[in-house]
């Protein structure tokens, strides 16, 4: 055991900071009467070998409890016992029997006997670990700062991407950061430019009903620690270094890293939940409480809500984001239920939420992608009206409208036309850039793309909640049979529909996001809420690469086009107003220049011209169940004819031709098959000098 010497230390910075000769500890704990710093000899030690008592003005400045411990170094395992009044009616929940994590801890260890119980005594509680964040060789790596207009996002689950034995990764790395490193060549081949990782902040793996695992990870315990369960390394620093190895490897491959972050609630749950950290340190600062202070406001569906606009929580969120950019080199963040962050301390939406403007204007975060899921679980929906300037938004209306349209619902043609050109009805009035809209058809929450075209209703029985969980509104269509089938006609229709979805997604203005495995037909057998399914049901089945080669090639060709020639905008940033003002878009029906936006219309055509006039696309979209004959306008390209490019009704490889190599259009009409899309292209002659 080291020879230790205790001195007052400093209240700043918060957390455990290695310094020459020892470690400085600082903890914010308003209303506490005494703090005990517990030091453990090893990660598995059931009890501390030393308890340092901090009390009185010597070790407390304002609300900050602090000390310097000479003789300690990085790797030291520690935790806090915080003393104070137990008075839930006043929002006070101090219990010195609980060992608490450091809110600013950068690593932690989870004892084998960990249990999710209200009481967290030393023997079973998680503990923090002292870390020197500069002790890593980045080899010159930096965040990539790729413009959003050049970005194609691929949302994936770190464990689910390689957990299945079919992944072929090194067995001990299956389901880990290291396993994902081995699959980077697949992502490069597909052509995406960024991975959006489902939560990698340390979460409670036991926080799911009925003893099932928490698979998705939306139950955070720490906002600084990489999740322990995604590391193949058993040492306390393993998750930290393995995650940084992943980021560095992705950057070397030209892929950005976007984290799905949860700053709206924690895994401590309601008043009956465990005290891991925040509740036992400063309960009324960290959480929005009910009117009687003994209960928790719930705008998240997860039993509590972080008090994000409290100065203490605002600071923690900002410090967390800065840490992940400066020390972990991530490129962006997608904020789960971001509308919660706009609620003030009474729970009401604020017209100018301080935390959102803190993030928006932080100089360290300048150039970092900020993506909002602009709604919450209590009905606040802010798509198109999310506060702050530098944010992109998950465009839920893109998902819903495109699904309804391709399903064949009436009254959707004009809505999908808006989605195709960047949703100016949502974002145009703000004069925003087209890429503010994150366009997606599927994500982790809901059906996979294969299930969107194979199920009319959810089938969540495996979740143990009698099929009550998950959304009942999926805008899906099973194409004539619920679930798996051997009917060749239905299977062909489903494949055609998936091509239709990908075509509209990747050719639309905005930033496209693909869901993990949609390019190979990954299915969850109709489960639209697989949050607790750490099984093959949720994992990527790599055997499908052999059976879905045509669909994957189709997606790869679409992405390759987008990266060669960003649709319409030619790798320049234009606002939607500027784009539409350049006459880059013209609308048609089956007759050129005569679009039909009526309630019963299920088709339209659109010509898209690049701003630099290098090329033009003409897309004919038929969501009707009969073929339609479209008249085609003249290409206005001198003697250069239209060329066939995409026909989603054709089997591969005729469903998409390499750019510019398709056969020339003969005549002035094109038959578009039922429920299919055809796209023509022409390269335009250079403008006269």
> Which among 317, 393, 431, 364 is positioned nearest to 145, based on CA atoms?
364
The one-character DSSP state at 232 is S
Characterise 567 by phi-psi region: left (phi > 0), alpha (psi -120 to 50), beta (else): beta
> Which among 238, 229, 223 is positioned nearest to 206, based on CA atoms?
229
Q: How far is CA 238 from CA 122, 225, 574, 588, in A?
A: 22, 11, 44, 58
Cβ contacts of 686 within 8 Å, gap of 6 or more? none
Taking the C-alpha atoms of residue 40 and residue 35, their distance in angstroms, rounded to an integer, is 16
> Is 373 assigned a catalytic role?
yes
The one catalytic residue in 373, 376, 519, 655 is 373
Characterise 9 by phi-psi region: left (phi > 0), alpha (psi -120 to 50), beta (else): left
Taking the C-alpha atoms of residue 102 and residue 123, their distance in angstroms, rounded to an integer, is 17
415 touches 621 (CB < 8 A): no
Taking the C-alpha atoms of residue 488 and residue 352, their distance in angstroms, rounded to an integer, is 55
b/e per residue 97-118 (b: at least 16 CB within 10 A):
ebbbbbbbbbbbbbbeebebee
Residues β-bridged to residue 515: 155
User: Phi/psi of residue 505, each to 5°?
Assistant: -65, -50
SS3 at position 60: strand
The one catalytic residue in 336, 376, 534, 655 is 336
> Is 292 assigned a catalytic role?
no
β 603-609/92-93 pair status: unpaired
Burial class (CB in 10 A: 0-12, 13-18, 19+), 509: buried
Taking the C-alpha atoms of residue 217 and residue 160, their distance in angstroms, rounded to an integer, is 12
Characterise 420 by phi-psi region: left (phi > 0), alpha (psi -120 to 50), beta (else): alpha
Characterise 117 by phi-psi region: left (phi > 0), alpha (psi -120 to 50), beta (else): beta
Taking the C-alpha atoms of residue 650 and residue 172, their distance in angstroms, rounded to an integer, is 42
Give start and end residues of each alpha helix (H) in 144-278: 158-162, 177-182, 184-190, 238-252
> Which among 485, 471, 487 is positioned nearest to 403, based on CA atoms?
471
Characterise 31 by phi-psi region: left (phi > 0), alpha (psi -120 to 50), beta (else): left
293 touches 88 (CB < 8 A): yes
Taking the C-alpha atoms of residue 236 and residue 228, their distance in angstroms, rounded to an integer, is 8
For every residue of 571-613, DSSP letters joined together read T---BHHHHHHTT-EEEE-SSTT----STT--EEEEEEE-TT-
b/e per residue 458-476 (b: at least 16 CB within 10 A):
bbbebbeeebebbeeebbb
What are the residue numbers of the active site?
336, 373
């Amino acid at each position: 055991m080291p020879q230790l010497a205790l001195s007052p230390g400093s209240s700043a910075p918060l957390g455990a900071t290695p310094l020459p000769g020892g470690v400085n500890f600082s903890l914010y704990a308003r209303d506490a009467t005494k703090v005990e710093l517990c030091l453990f000899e090893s990660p598995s030690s059931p009890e501390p070998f030393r308890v340092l008592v901090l009390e009185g003005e010597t070790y407390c400045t304002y609300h900050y409890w602090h000390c310097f411990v000479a003789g300690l170094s990085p790797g030291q395992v520690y935790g806090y016992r915080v003393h104070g009044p137990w008075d839930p009616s006043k929002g006070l929940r101090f219990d010195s029997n609980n060992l608490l994590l450091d809110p600013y801890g950068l690593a932690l260890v989870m004892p084998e006997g960990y249990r999710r119980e209200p009481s967290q005594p030393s023997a079973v509680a998680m503990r923090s670990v002292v870390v020197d964040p500069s002790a890593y060789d980045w080899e010159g790596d930096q965040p990539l700062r790729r413009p959003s207009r050049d970005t194609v996002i691929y949302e994936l689950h770190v464990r689910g991407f390689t957990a299945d034995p079919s992944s072929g990764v090194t067995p001990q790395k299956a389901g880990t950061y290291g396993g994902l490193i081995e699959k980077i060549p697949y992502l490069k081949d597909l052509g995406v430019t960024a991975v959006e990782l489902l939560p990698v902040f340390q979460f409670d793996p036991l926080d799911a009903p009925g003893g099932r695992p928490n698979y998705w990870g939306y139950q955070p315990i720490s906002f600084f620690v990489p999740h322990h369960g995604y590391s193949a390394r058993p040492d306390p620093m393993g998750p930290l270094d393995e995650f940084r190895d992943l980021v560095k490897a992705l950057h070397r491959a030209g892929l950005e890293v976007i984290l799905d972050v949860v700053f709206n609630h924690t895994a401590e749950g309601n008043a009956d939940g465990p005290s891991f950290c925040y509740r036992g340190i400063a309960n009324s600062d960290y959480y929005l409480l009910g009117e009687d202070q003994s209960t928790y406001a719930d705008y998240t569906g997860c039993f509590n809500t972080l008090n994000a606009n409290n100065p203490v929580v605002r600071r923690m969120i900002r410090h967390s984001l800065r840490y992940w950019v400066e020390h972990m080199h991530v490129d962006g963040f997608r904020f789960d239920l971001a509308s919660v962050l706009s609620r003030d301390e009474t729970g009401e939406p604020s017209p100018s939420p301080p935390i959102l403007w803190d993030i928006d204007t932080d100089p360290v975060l300048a150039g970092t992608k900020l993506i909002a899921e602009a709604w919450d679980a209590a009905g606040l929906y802010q798509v198109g009206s999310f506060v702050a300037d530098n944010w992109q938004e998950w465009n839920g209306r893109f998902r819903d409208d495109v699904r309804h349209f391709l399903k064949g619902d009436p009254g959707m043609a004009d809505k999908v036309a808006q989605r195709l050109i960047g949703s100016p009805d949502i974002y145009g009035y703000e004069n925003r850039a087209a890429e503010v809209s994150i366009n997606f058809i599927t994500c982790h929450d809901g059906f996979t793309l294969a299930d969107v075209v194979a199920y009319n209703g959810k089938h969540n029985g495996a979740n143990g909640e009698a099929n009550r969980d998950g959304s009942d509104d999926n805008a899906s269509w099973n194409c004539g049979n619920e679930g798996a089938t051997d009917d060749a006609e239905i299977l062909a229709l489903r494949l055609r529909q998936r091509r239709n979805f990908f075509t509209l997604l990747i050719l639309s203005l905005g930033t496209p996001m693909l869901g993990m495995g949609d390019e190979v037909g990954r299915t969850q057998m109709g489960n639209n809420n697989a949050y607790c399914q750490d099984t093959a049901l949720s994992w990527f089945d790599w055997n499908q690469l052999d059976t879905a080669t045509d669909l994957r090639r189709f997606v790869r060709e679409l992405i390759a086009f987008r990266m060669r020639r960003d649709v319409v905008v030619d790798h320049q940033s234009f606002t939607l107003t500027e784009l539409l003002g350049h006459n880059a878009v013209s609308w048609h029906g089956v007759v050129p220049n005569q679009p039909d936006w009526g309630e019963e219309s299920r088709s339209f055509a659109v010509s898209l011209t690049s701003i630099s006039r290098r090329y033009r696309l003409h897309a004919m979209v038929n969501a009707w169940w009969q073929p339609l004959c479209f008249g085609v306008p003249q290409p206005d390209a001198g003697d250069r004819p239209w060329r066939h490019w995409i026909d989603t009704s054709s089997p591969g490889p005729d469903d998409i031709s390499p750019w510019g190599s398709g056969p020339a259009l003969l005549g002035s009409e094109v038959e578009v098959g039922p429920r299919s899309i055809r796209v023509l292209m022409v390269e335009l002659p250079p403008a006269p000098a």
